[in-house]
A and B are shown apart, each in its own frame.
Chain A
């Protein structure tokens, strides 16, 4: 399905620019961190109480701050030294920020990729069918899509979460079971409803793009030719319409992964997450202490920014490489 020409285009565009390389390196390292989080983590991310002897959370390495603690009924300011035990410090309930950062990457990527996957599975068939058949089928399906689009994604997601509730599925962590990482949580919470909800607010985009492509492709002469010798609609959709509409859908999918990661962070920030191991949740936790202990919010914030940038850089690369103008005839 991916022709030699497309491959060579991908290679060429990749070689020509620094940005896709940067994006790839970033994304690969974030995926690596997420996959091997239990091995790379230094502490159980959910264990609280990592404070220094004065009872104050640790700052990251190379950073000192003065904490206000209550001593003998009085508020006193005491300097707090970092420790190599917690390289990125601890948060206000004494959890290791570095370990939570690694586990947060898992949630972001899971929601981002699974959410996009489900949105693709819903949106692409609906869009292709609407565009290919046109007429009333199209009118009906696209009015539903327009209705979805009329609501801001975040508001719609909050409403849907209100309907579905927030529950997460606890999936056993193979690395911990294999005994590679002792002392880590034995299961990973997968925020199931959040994944479904982000897919439900995102599929519309795939439906619209797929519809537009199908609308153009159904008038192509190769589709008419296929009809003329009696190919069934289902086969035409699968063999002609889908492969020829994939390029813009793939490009959109990369952009949507980034958008869904941001949406998940927003939902978690607002407290709708289903798990506390989320970057968005962590940002919210650090919000009140942004002046004194900024790292609590800063570390997950940087995580979100880097992930979104890396996905977008790769998306730009795909778009440039798959652009039909560059792809061109006879190249």
Chain B
């Protein structure tokens, strides 16, 4: 299969955005609360080529499923376009929309919720045929029986209800329903994550066989990297609503480029005796809220490889610590009252007395920083912390920002074109520092 196909992609996603709005009821508008956007999908561009399986991986809540649903127009996008066979999906109506609904299908994650409990499985699989009015009554019944047998169920189970089936069987019923219209493109939204490991392989193999048989194109959404490696041709890695890396599957697994991809791969436990000694570079901190994503590169708050400002001779570890300190100062996530021994510093009336400032700074620094700083940085940090003695948060944050602002927070790296794109300042077009810092091990 050609990975860098020059032909027209089957699905072309261009700048897709999907925001959900909070505080958006009539009452909120009445009281003048501004709606808060939750940026579930924020400017995703991707091509999916005929016949390939594109994996979409990322942590829970990064917007994978929303993207799958939005590109099928199960939700209206906030901005951007999706072309299917050269036509903008969001501008379709009437017969064209019906044709799109015919050609693009979805298999959902939860086999317990994806089948209507009050419909027999025969009715469930037949539904798409009824909606599109395909064939006569008897032809539809025959087709349903064929489909069920194709996914490994017997046709005499037609009259049973979903609760009489196991999770794996239900998932196969869901696949039969998606296949009923002989689609070209299927979004597989974590099709195996709710299944036992032994059943997962069955379902994946079935999907694989069906792809060959019906010449299907898949978008496989998953957080299970082993599944992705097993099934996909190319992989897109998603973080906080953005695609950070798109690569052919072998390349991605052997030499991941984006720090986030590396961290994801590192986090997979390996069945090896080396495992005990392996130094896992796990991610620190929580995923930032999609209500208020970080400026610049969205991964920078957790990135182990943030690029320090030019001419700043600093260890990555120390730099991380300083970034962390900065973040706490900016968010005012520090209790000044509890600095030093109890009652040592009077902070009630808006500041520590001038005489106590050096002691205050020393106490604060001892609490916040674990490592000894090089003198140059020590001076900057002390200046900033001295501002805190007067509860001057803004000034402290400003001091740290001017000294340590990274290219990662100023600019959001773009993904670039082609099959090997990485959205990171360390790589590709946006890169000004092609070499990786030494601190990465």
Which A residues contact B (CB, under 8 angstroms)?
Answer: 1, 3, 5, 136, 139, 220-222, 224-232, 235, 239-240, 243-244, 329-331
Contact = CB atoms under 8 A, between A and B. Distances in A.
Specify which of A136, A228, A235 lies most central, judged by the most chain B CB atoms within 10 Å of its CB.
Answer: A228
29 contacts: A1-B118, A3-B118, A3-B161, A5-B161, A136-B26, A220-B113, A221-B113, A221-B114, A222-B113, A222-B116, A222-B124, A224-B69, A225-B174, A225-B177, A226-B131, A228-B105, A228-B106, A229-B101, A229-B102, A229-B105, A229-B180, A230-B101, A230-B132, A231-B131, A232-B131, A239-B119, A240-B119, A329-B112, A329-B163
Interface string B398-422: 0000000000000000000000000
Interface of B: 25-26, 69, 72, 74, 97-98, 101-102, 104-106, 108-110, 112-119, 124, 127-128, 131-132, 161, 163-164, 174, 177-178, 180-181
Contacts of B112: 329
Contacts of B97: 230
Contacts of A227: 74
Contacts of A222: 113-116, 124
A182 B174 CA distance: 65
A224 B177 CA distance: 13
A273 B26 CA distance: 40
A211 to B, nearest CB: 15
B105 A139 contact: no
Contacts of A229: 101-102, 105, 127-128, 131-132, 177, 180-181
B117 A225 contact: no
A1 B118 CA distance: 7
Contacts of A5: 161, 163
A228 B74 contact: yes
Contacts of A1: 118
Contact of B26 (A139, A231, A329): A139
A221 B117 CA distance: 11
Contact of A230 (B115, B131, B178, B180): B131
Contacts of A330: 163-164
Contacts of B178: 225
B26 A225 contact: no
A221 B108 contact: yes
A329 to B, nearest CB: 6
B106 A230 contact: no
Contacts of A331: 163
A225 B161 contact: no
A218 to B, nearest CB: 11
A225 B97 CA distance: 16
B101 A228 contact: yes
B16 to A, nearest CB: 17
Contacts of A243: 116, 118
Given A3-B161, A331-B163, A224 B74 contact: yes
B195 to A, nearest CB: 15
A331 B161 CA distance: 11
B131 A225 contact: no
Contacts of A226: 127, 131
A1 B117 CA distance: 10
B346 to A, nearest CB: 53
A226 B74 CA distance: 10
A227 B108 CA distance: 13
B413 to A, nearest CB: 33
Contacts of B163: 5, 329-331
Given A222-B114, A222-B116, A225-B106, 4 more contacts: A225-B177, A228-B104, A244-B116, A244-B118
Nearest to A6: B118
A244 B127 contact: no
Give the interface centre of A1, A136, A139, A231 by most chain B CB atoms within 10 Å. A231
A221 B106 CA distance: 10
A259 to B, nearest CB: 28
B176 to A, nearest CB: 12
A232 B131 CA distance: 8
A222 B123 CA distance: 12
Contact of B116 (A136, A139, A230, A240): A240
B127 A224 contact: no
A124 to B, nearest CB: 16
Contacts of A136: 26
Contacts of B177: 225, 229
A220 B114 CA distance: 7
